[in-house]
Amino acid sequence: MTIFYKNDIIEGPNALSEEESKHCALVLRHKKGDEIQVFDGKGNKHVAVLTQIHKKACEFEIIRSETSTKKPFSIHLAIAPTKNMDRMEWLVEKLSETGVDEVTFIQTQNSERKKLRIDRLEKKAISAMKQSGNPFLLKLNDLTPFDQLIDAENNNLKLIAHVDHSYKYIQDILIPKKSTTILIGPEGDFSLNEIEQAKKAGFQATSLGENTLRTETAGFVACCAVNLINKF
């Protein structure tokens, strides 16, 4: 059954967005009376019937609903975006598929990118949510200064990845069922000053292994490590 996204579902008649409606009517060629699934990105999965087909507003009514339970831990990745946006789109897609909760893009001393098309990445997250069947939409936060991010963090297990292999491997630090925030630097890595700042803010420095990973690979590997220790 085809999955569509609408974040503000109400009781009674609803309509898909113009973009979703165009996909429904013109690409998939759905007809009145067809059943579809509609996710709101908050864990609610609805089975609905199409009551009106139009390329600008396909209308539907809910038949039944199911609410998914959130996992007992969260994963927050804070990462310096790469110069090539395709690599960030790939990362957002994979993080959405594997159930990461939140991504914050950070500005660091060695950052390659000063501006970000967050709307473009949000479209990728929605597409990946629908493709994977994950009912929770990945939360994306726009560029945030490094200092602001580390000062705002909560009681999560807080890790900062670094190329120095003398630090403990991430799998030796992670705690099952513990919400975790992971910092990943740019291609030039975090500066030594940023590492010290993070440590003072309660972050533990960690290694992702002996090989030097690209930024997006490091982000994906770190989040997978959290999922694996929780038997994702």
- Kindly state the helix (H) or strand (E) to which residue 77 belongs, with its residue range: strand 75-79
Look up the pTM and report it.
Answer: 0.92
Q: At what angle do helices 85-97 and 215-229 cross, to 10 degrees?
A: 10
The token duo for 89 is 């789109």
Contact at 8 Å (CB) between 205 and 199?
Answer: yes
The total of other beta-carbon atoms located within 10 Å of residue 5's CB is 19
Q: Which of 107, 105, 70, 73 is nearest to 89 (CA)?
A: 105
Query: What SS3 class is residue 68?
Result: coil
pLDDT single digits (tens) 30-88: 999 999 999 999 999 999 999 999 999 999 999 999 999 999 999 999 999 999 999 99
Domains and CATH numbers, the chain: 3-67 (2.40.240.20), 75-229 (3.40.1280.10)
Amino acid code (one letter) for 47 = V
For the stretch 127-154, pLDDT in tens is 999 999 999 999 999 999 999 999 987 7
